[in-house]
Structure 1
Amino acid sequence: MLGSGNLGNDGSLEAVLGYLRAAHPEAAVDALCGGPEVVTARYGIPATRLHWYRGEYRTASRAGAIAGKGLGKLVDAVRTAAWVRRHDVVIVPGMGVLEATLPLRPWGFPYALFLLCASGRLLGTKVALVGVGAAPIGSRPTRALVRWSARLAAHRSYRDALSRDAMRAMGVDTTRDEVHPDLAFALPAPPAHPSPGLVCVGVMDFHGGDDDRARSEEIHRRYLDGVTRFVRALVQEGRPVRLLTGDACDAAVVGTILDAVDSPLVTASRAASLADLMKETAAADAVVATRYHNLVCALKAGTPTLALSYAAKSDALMTRMGLDAYCHPAREVDADRLLEQFRALEERSAGLRRTLTERNRLTTEQLDRQFTALTAALFPATDHTHAVRETP
């Protein structure tokens, strides 16, 4: 999923690259990913396409496309094994690779992750799932692939306790698995320079999760209507609003809100990385956001934040950072109630900024311990140079 337009995924890669370059400068690093051209251009490392079939991310409706996807699954098994075999270590850097909180098909990424972990086990290459997210999965095929991927990995750590509990419930022995903050918290935070009155609102092309397909359009309409009403209410109070995204697919939602509110007070961010998003959130008086890594950026920047929560991972993140009272369900956005919560957030702004300063200090210490443990697990002292590889 790296290089495919999701800023949170790429931010996780950036955090692990920072660790490798600081702690293991001798390591030769490359990537196996969905957007190899983007990863090479942005991070300066060689990259290989994850899928042989170039139409993998498009819906297959014609016989030729269906056949191409089917053949691609067979070819990918060989390609993945050959790639893994050339390496000493493969790191899957963060991301929700063990969850289905958004719509997901088992033959897509779950199958690719299974191939990766199975190849590592068969060929003697360490595959490490580092700081990943997991959640209960309703689909049996998807759950089976995720369970076996986790079992076959040589190292696992999670970004919250809920993720570890979910894997334990799926039958994975998590006795030695550790929980650490999300990898994106390892990225440097910009200085806070709030612009008076500015509110950042992080939006998402949200249609519910994998189990919500039957009512996905209803969920989307309710979410979009609620967020639009909230933005309009802020504008009526004279507040400038900056719309944030976290994935290329969110642009349509931004356009709809801009058209509906039709005010010069509402502008759209052009952030191209998590660093850009952190700068946006550091300049705000407050943030209301949906995407998980929008929340991470705002919390890391030390800005009072309210979560439009679409999964338990968002609630867990807000609890970790001391803002558990400021969560609102993304599936049932109530603009009036959201405004009440937002006003309560702003009333406690000064105290919440102090809380975030302390929680960020603890988070940095915990991530330092994770990287130390990762070195011990993956890079035992030897007298030869390791080849270290990145993949989603």
Structure 2
Amino acid sequence: MRTAPRVGVFGLLGSGNLGNDGSLEAVLGYLRAEHPEAVVDALCGGPEAVTARFGIPATRLHWYRGEYRTASRAGSIAAKGLGKLVDVFRTAAWVRRHDVVIVPGMGVLEATLPLRPWGFPYSLFLLCASGRLLRTRVALVSVGAAEIGNRPTRALVRWSARLAAYRSYRDTQSRDAMRAMGVDTTRDEVYPDLAFSLPAPQASAPTGTPGPVCLGVMDFHGGNDDRARAEEIYRRYLDGTIRFVRTLVAEGRPVRLLTGDQCDLSVVAAILDAVDSPLVTAAEPASLADLMHEMAAADTVVAVRYHNLICALKTGTPVLALCYAAKSDALMDRMGLGAYCHPAREVDADRLLEQFRTLEKRSVELRQILTERNRAAAERLADQFAALTASVFPTTDHPHTPRKAR
């Protein structure tokens, strides 16, 4: 008799990032539709949140609870170091209990935001090395990647990719980046981001008069290579955004502020404080579904976070992207809106307003384009899930037994 496959999901899930949790939701939808007999659990950043929302057992990713706090005292530094050692055995023990481990989307092979090698890159390496050693198939599914300059981070990411049993990427640039870093990508495919498989509400039909604008914000300080000018980048981004909002308010346009991570709330507060108007309100989205409902009701969206862009595109709402990484430019180009990108590091309010007005003039045409592109994305993701099943799910009928390291 064939036993139910034991499937683990892994990542910074349940930690407040709506995009990461949306990727998990997409994979759980696939598992429940195609592998309803699978026994699923998670190793993740926020186990309590994952269990509460998705109803699956979850284990904390790190043994040391202060992993994401800066260690400045000798005691906390020692505890963090001990945690890294303990996590070797904790990760291997968790991996050993599974037939398949899925890393659902996310930018797990990139460092476009500030990242230390001993943080998530180290955790991902432990996962993939344990999978290879214990013969558990690790699948990196529709993940994001980018070339990394920092040598330790680059080495950990490269070896993680090499050790995975299955890899697919959410854009061509990601696959090219891994090839440039020394990974054989000959058999790796490119598919849309997993969030494109989620259900989406119908966008409101334009009324002919200027309506609400959704503004997706981000606590943006640049990436790994921008640490020296992080505060300068943040101030320029925030000041340009505030000027943009003030102009819309002066024209009588309602502006709805949206976040994609809990850390973005400080930006919302700064904008509300700078623009004291009842026309500016803030939503409290708890999922990508919440974001999509907000964006479906808007005439236009302006957003920074990658998955905020996806939510707008998925609902067919024209969106202007404040791009902080090549992945955003690639996404917008693939969906037919490549002309509506603006650099998040160099926000120019006047130029942003010019692009915004051009975008709105083409609203009807762009909505039709997005309908077609969304249909194609859904078809490609159906192919992705079929390929994933064929590649990593067990096909032999035998009882699951713990694997012994060789």
Which residue is equivalent to 2:305?
Answer: 291
> Aligned pair 1:263/2:273, yes or no?
no
Identity %: 82
Equivalent residue number for residue 5 of structure 2: none
> Which ranges of structure 1 fall in alignment gaps of 5 or more residues?
388-392
1:245 Cα deviation after fit: 0.6
Q: 1:130 aligns with which of 116, 124, 141?
A: 141
* Distance across 1 between alignment mates of 2:282 and 2:205: 17
**Alignment-mate amino acid for residue 17 of structure 1:** L
Q: Deviation digits for residues 130-150 of structure 1, max 9, x if unmatched? A: 000000111110000000000
Equivalent residues, number: 387
* 2:242 is the alignment partner of 1:228: yes
1:311 matched residue in structure 2 = 325
1:199 aligns with 2:213: yes
d(CA) in 1 for partners of 2:400 and 2:25? 19
Residue of structure 2 equivalent to 1:246: 260
Residues 1:374 and 2:385 are matched in the alignment: no
- For 1:382 and 1:119, the matched residues in 2 are separated by 22
> How many angstroms apart in 1 are the aligned matches of 2:390 and 2:266?
45
Which residue is 1:186 aligned to? 197
Code of the residue aligned with 2:285 in structure 1: it is: A
Q: Is the 8 A contact 1:27 1:386 kept in 2?
A: no
Which portions of structure 1, spanning 4 or more consecutive aligned residues, are displaced by more than 6 angstroms?
A: none
Residue among 82, 89, 95 paired with 2:106: 95
Question: Which residue of 1 is the match for residue 47 of structure 2?
Answer: 36
Map residues 1-392 of structure 1 onto 2, 5 A cutoff.
Answer: 1-193=12-204, 197-384=211-398
1:237 and 1:296 mapped to 2: Cα distance? 27
Rounded Cα–Cα distance in structure 2 between residues aligned with 1:66 and 1:269: 38
Are 2:99 and 2:394, in contact at CA under 8 Å, matched by a contact in 1?
no
Are the counterparts in 2 of residues 2 and 10 from structure 1 also a CA contact under 8 Å? yes
Normalised TM-score (structure 1): 0.97
Distance 2:82 2:345 in 1: 37
Measure, in 1, the Cα distance between the counterparts of 2:104 and 2:241. Answer: 31
Q: Aligned equivalents of 2:342 and 2:270: distance in 1?
A: 21
Contact 1:26 1:386 in 2 (8 A): no
Q: For 2:337 and 2:305, locate their aligned partners in 1 and report how far apart those are by CA, in whole Å.
A: 16
Shift of 1:129: 0.3
Structure 1: how far apart are the matches of 2:399 and 2:353? Answer: 56
Do 1:27 and 1:385's aligned partners in 2 also have CA atoms closer than 8 Å? no
Q: Is the contact between residue 254 and residue 268 of structure 1 (CA under 8 Å) also seen in structure 2?
A: yes
Offset of residue 382 of structure 1: 2.9
- TM-score of the pair, normalised by structure 2: 0.94
Deviation by residue 1:5-48 (Cα, 9 ceiling, x = unmatched)? 00000000000000000000000000000000000000000000
- Contact kept, 8 Å, 1:194 with 1:282, in 2: the verdict is no
Deviation at 1:380, TM superposition (A): 4.3
Which amino acid in 2 is paired with 1:185?
F
Q: Is this contact kept in 2: 1:28–1:386, CA < 8 A? A: no
What is the rounded CA distance, in whole Å, between the counterparts of 2:127 and 2:182 in structure 1? Answer: 20
Return the letter of the residue paired with 1:84: V
Which amino acid letter does the alignment assign opposite residue 99 of structure 1?
E
The alignment partner of 1:143 has SS state of helix
